[in-house]
Amino acid sequence: MTASLGKDLVGLEPLSAEQIQLILDTAEPFKEVSERPIKKVPALRGKTIVNLFFEASTRTRISFEFAEKRLSADTVNVAAAGSSVSKGETLVDTARNLEAMRIDMVVIRHGASGAAQFLGQRIRSNVINAGDGKHEHPTQGLLDMLTLRDRFKRLRGLKVAICGDILHSRVARSNIWGLTKLGAEVGVCGPASLLPRNVHQLGVTILPRIEDAIQWADALNILRLQLERMQSGFLPSLREYNRVFGVTSERLSKAPKDLLILHPGPMNRGVEIDSDVADGPHSVILPQVTNGVAIRMAVLYLLAGGSPDWAGQGGGVDG
Amino acid sequence: MTRPILVLGGRVVDPSRGTDEVTDLLLAGGKVEALGRDLGRPDEAVLVEAAGKVVAPGLIDLHVHLREPGQEDVETVASGAMAAAAGGFSAVCAMPNTDPVTDNQAAIGFIVSQAQRAGKARVYPIGAISLGQNGQQLAEFGELVGAGAVAVSDDGRPVVSSHLMRTALEYARTFGIPVADHCEDPTLAAGGAMHEGLVSTRLGLKGIPAAAEEIMVARDILLAEHTGGHVHLCHISTRGSVELIRRAKEKGLRVTAEACPHHFTLTHEACEGYNTNAKMNPPLREPEDREAIRQGLRDGTIDCICTDHAPHHYDAKEREFDDAPNGIIGLETALGLAITELVQPGLLSLNDLVNRMSVMPARIFNLTGGTLAPGAAGDVVVIDPEAAWVVRPEEFYSKSRNTPFAGRELRGRAEVTIVRGQVVFEHARRGSVAPAG
C-alpha cells in the first residue's frame, strides 16, 4: 500500500508526488469501467455522497455524479439556489446539518477560495474540492495530467504552457502544483494584467506572448477567458484578446512540433481558441472529459479507503 | 477624596523627563504628587510594591474601535476600557466608525459619558472627518472638539477625495487637532482580502498591493506640506510608507505615524490555512515590510504603537476568508508583543518602549498623561517586563476573542494600572473582579 490521500482532497499543493501518482495510477483501471455495457462497480455501495454546488456547473457536477454512480454510491445534488444557503445560512451551519445526516462524503464547489478546506476542517466526512474560488480545482488538474500522460507516456520533462487568465484560475494553480511535483516544466502565458503577483516563485516559466508559448511547449492548456474580465478593467476587448493571445491554426503552424491542445471547458470559440484548433487532430479536449470521470472515480475510491490494487476489479471497500 | 497611592521601589522610566531610576512615586488627589526615596508614608496611602518592576506613565492607544454605539454585543466602551486597563493602557482613543457614526457633539458626548461611567481607562472620542464618514461634507470639528473629541478621522474608510482631505487639514488647524487618515486607495484595494504577494497567489485570494497604502501616504504628506496641517497616518504597514514618512520628517513636515503590534510581529504567512484571525486592513505584509516597521519604530520615523483594536463576534470570523470582517483585538496583547518582539531582541530599550506607547501618543493628540512630572495626571502603569505568560483569549476582559496570538507565549505584562490616581487593574486580583459588561 502506497501513500494514502488523507481525509480530504482540497488541492494538489498539499499532496506529495507519490500521492498524485497514486491517483493517476488508480484512475487507469477505472477508465475501463466506463467502457463496459454495464458501467457499475460496487466499490462505494452503501456510501452517501452530497454534491454541494454553490456555483453553477454542468460538466464538473455531471462528471462527479457519473463517477459516484458508477461506483454504486448514493448521491444527492444540492444547488445553492433553492437551498437554505440562499436563505442566508452560513457554510458552517450547512456543513453541520449535512454531518448530522451521517453522510460519508461531500463534493463542494464554492466561489470563495478556501471553502473546501474550511468545510473539511469542520466535518468528519471526506471533502473533495470541485473548485474553490481562485484557489484550486484538483480533479481538473489531475484529469489534465492523466490526459497528458496518456499521450506522451510520461510527465517528467514535459513542457506544458498554461495560457490565459492565470490570475483568476483555479485550474491553472492545480495544474502548476501537480505538473511541477511530477517533474514537468510549466510555463504560464497571458497578458501581464492576468498573471498573479510572484507567480514565478511557484517554479514556472513566464511566457509573455502566445508565440513564445507555442515555440516553447509540448502541450498548451488553454484556459477559458471569463467574459466579465472586460468590465473589471483587466482587458480591453475579446477581439483584441483573440488577436494577441488567441490560439489559431496560423500561429500553431509556426510551432517547431505538433502541440497537444487541452482546454478545461467550456470554450469560447473564436476568443481564446479557434474552432479549427479545438476540433483539430491534436485536440484532446474530449478525452479530457472522458478522463474526468475516471479521475473522480479514483479520488472517491481512494478517499473512501480503497486499495489501488482492487480498483476496477469489482472489489468492494471495507467498512 | 481618594486615598493616596505610594508606588514603592520600582524602576521609574519616564522619557518625558529623562528619568530612569529606582525610586518611589506618590500619587495624591488624582495627580502625581512627588517622586523620591524619602516621601514618607501617609497613613492612609495604598501601597503598591514595585520592586523589580518598571513604573511608567500609563500607556496610551490612539487607535481603538469600541463598537458602542451599535455593536454592543462585541464590545462596549466599558468592556473596552477594562480591556485597555488590563493591557496597561490608561487612555485609549475611540474611532468614530460606530453605528451611528460619531460625527456630532451628541455622539461625542455619549462616548465621554459612557467612559466616565465605566471609570476604567480614559476613553477619548475621535470625531468623524465627514458626516456619516461618507467622504462628502465636513463634520462640525468645532462642536466635536467642544464636546471632547481629540482628533478627527474617517478610519475604516479612506478619505478618497483629495479635496476633502485638504480642507480637513486646513480646517483642523483652527482647533489644533490632527487629522488621522486610514491610507488606502480604494480602487487598488477593492475586493482585496489580504496582502498581494506570493501567499495571496497561492491561496487564490485577491490581494491588496502595498501601493494602495503608499499612494495615499504620499498624497497625505503632500497635502500636509501644502496646508501646514497635521496629518497622523494610521496603522502603517509597508516599507514604502515608512520611507515616505522618513523623507517627510526630514523635511520637517507635520506628519506623525503609528504602527500596530501585528504589523511588527506577523507577516502574510499568518493567513495560511485561510486563518480569518489574520485578516485585517491594512493586511499583514511581507518580512521586509515587518522589518521596516521595526526599524521605523526604532529610529522614530514611526512615532507610536497603536493597537487598531477591532472586536468581532466569533461567528463573523467563522466563515469563508473572503466574507470574514477585517480586524483583530489588541489591547490585552500589545504590551506583551512589544516587549517580546521589540525590547527582548534589543531593538527598543524600555525607555524607547514607554516613549512609543505613552509619551509620544500623548504629544501627538495633545492628551493628558504621558509624563510623571509632579502635578501631571495620576495615570501610571506598573510593568513586569520579565513575566512570561501565554495568551488565553478566554481570559480577556474584551468581549471578543478574535486574535491570531492565542496560545503564543509572551514576555512582559501590566501588573497594575492606575488612572486618575486610582487603581483600575491589578494583575494579582485577576479573576476576582468580574469583567465589565
> What does the pLDDT read at residue A81?
62
Q: Tell me which chain B residue has its CA closest to the CA of residue A110.
A: B320
Cβ–Cβ below 8 Å for B202 and A202: yes
Contacts of A264 (CB under 8 A, 6+ apart): A137, A140, A144, A171, A221, A223, A224, A288
Strands B179-181 and B152-153: parallel
On chain B, the residues whose CB falls within 8 A of the CB of A92 are: 318-319
Q: How many CB atoms lie within 10 A of CB B47?
A: 10
Determine contact: A315 vs chain B, CB below 8 A: no
> For residue A205, which amino acid is it?
T
pLDDT less than 50: residues of chain B: 434-437
Mutation for B interface: A12, A85, A113, most B CBs within 10 A = A113
Cβ–Cβ below 8 Å for B200 and A199: no
Using CB atoms, pick whichever of B197, B205, B318 lies closest to residue A92: B318
Question: Chain B: nearest CA to A149, how far in angstroms?
Answer: 25
Tell whether the torsion through CA atoms of A211, A216, A218 and A223 is positive or negative: negative
Question: Chain B: nearest CA to A178, how far in angstroms?
Answer: 13
Long-range (24+ apart) CB contacts under 8 A made by B137-141 are B138/B164, B138/B167, B138/B168, B138/B171, B139/B103, B139/B104, B140/B104, B140/B105, B141/B171, B141/B172, B141/B174, B141/B175, B141/B177
Cβ–Cβ below 8 Å for A196 and B201: yes
Catalytic residue, chosen from B61, B154, B289, B308, is B308
* CB-count burial class (<10 Å; 0-12, 13-18, 19+) for A253: exposed
On chain A, the residues whose CB falls within 8 A of the CB of B191 are: none
- Please count the CA atoms within 13 angstroms of the CA of A83 that sit on its side-chain side: 20
Question: Any idea which residue has 501518482 for its cell?
Answer: A21
8 A C-beta contact, residue A117 and residue B273: yes
Cβ–Cβ below 8 Å for B204 and A92: no
> What does the pLDDT read at residue A317?
45
Question: Chain B: nearest CA to A24, how far in angstroms?
Answer: 23
Q: Tell me which chain B residue has its CA closest to the CA of residue A116.
A: B320
Contacts of B279 (CB under 8 A, 6+ apart): B193, B194, B271, B317, B321, B324, B325, B326, B327
Using CB atoms, pick whichever of A90, A170, A197 lies closest to residue B319: A90
* CB-count burial class (<10 Å; 0-12, 13-18, 19+) for A313: exposed
Mutation for A interface: B194, B195, B202, most A CBs within 10 A = B202
Cβ–Cβ below 8 Å for A197 and B206: no
Q: How much is the pTM?
A: 0.94
Determine contact: A92 vs chain B, CB below 8 A: yes
Question: Chain B: nearest CA to A201, how far in angstroms?
Answer: 7
Question: Chain A: nearest CA to B185, how far in angstroms?
Answer: 16
Cβ–Cβ below 8 Å for A197 and B321: no
Question: Any idea which residue has 448530522 for its cell?
Answer: A100
Question: Any idea which residue has 463573523 for its cell?
Answer: B316
On chain B, the residues whose CB falls within 8 A of the CB of A200 are: none
On chain B, the residues whose CB falls within 8 A of the CB of A117 are: 273-274
Question: Chain B: nearest CA to A70, how far in angstroms?
Answer: 32
Tell whether the torsion through CA atoms of B92, B98, B100 and B103 is positive or negative: positive
8 A C-beta contact, residue A306 and residue A312: no
**Domains, in order of start, for chain B:** 5-55+376-432 (2.30.40.10), 57-364 (3.20.20.140)
Give the strands of the sheet with A260-262, arranged side by side.
A205-207, A185-189, A159-163, A219-222, A260-262
Using CB atoms, pick whichever of B198, B315, B320 lies closest to residue A114: B320
Cβ–Cβ below 8 Å for A113 and B274: yes
Which three cell numbers, joined as nine digits, stand for A160? 506544458
Determine contact: A170 vs chain B, CB below 8 A: yes
Using CB atoms, pick whichever of B200, B204, B322 lies closest to residue A197: B200
Cβ–Cβ below 8 Å for A115 and B200: no
Determine contact: A202 vs chain B, CB below 8 A: yes
Q: Tell me which chain A residue has its CA closest to the CA of residue B207.
A: A197
Profile chain A (319 residues) by mean pLDDT over runs of 10 residues.
Answer: 81 98 96 93 96 92 97 92 64 87 95 95 95 97 98 98 97 98 98 96 97 98 87 89 96 96 95 96 97 98 81 46
State how far Cα B182 lies from the chain centre. Answer: 14
B308 is catalytic: yes
Beta bridge pairs of residue B48: B7
Beta bridge pairs of residue A128: A9, A107
8 A C-beta contact, residue A10 and residue B274: no
8 A C-beta contact, residue A159 and residue A219: yes
Q: Is the peptide bond before A37 cis (omega within 30 degrees of 0)?
A: no
> What does the pLDDT read at residue A85?
60
Cβ–Cβ below 8 Å for A91 and B319: yes
Cβ–Cβ below 8 Å for A135 and B204: yes
Question: Chain B: nearest CA to A167, how far in angstroms?
Answer: 8
Best CA proximity match to A162, nearest among A150, A152, A171: A171
> What does the pLDDT read at residue A3?
64
* CB-count burial class (<10 Å; 0-12, 13-18, 19+) for B247: middle
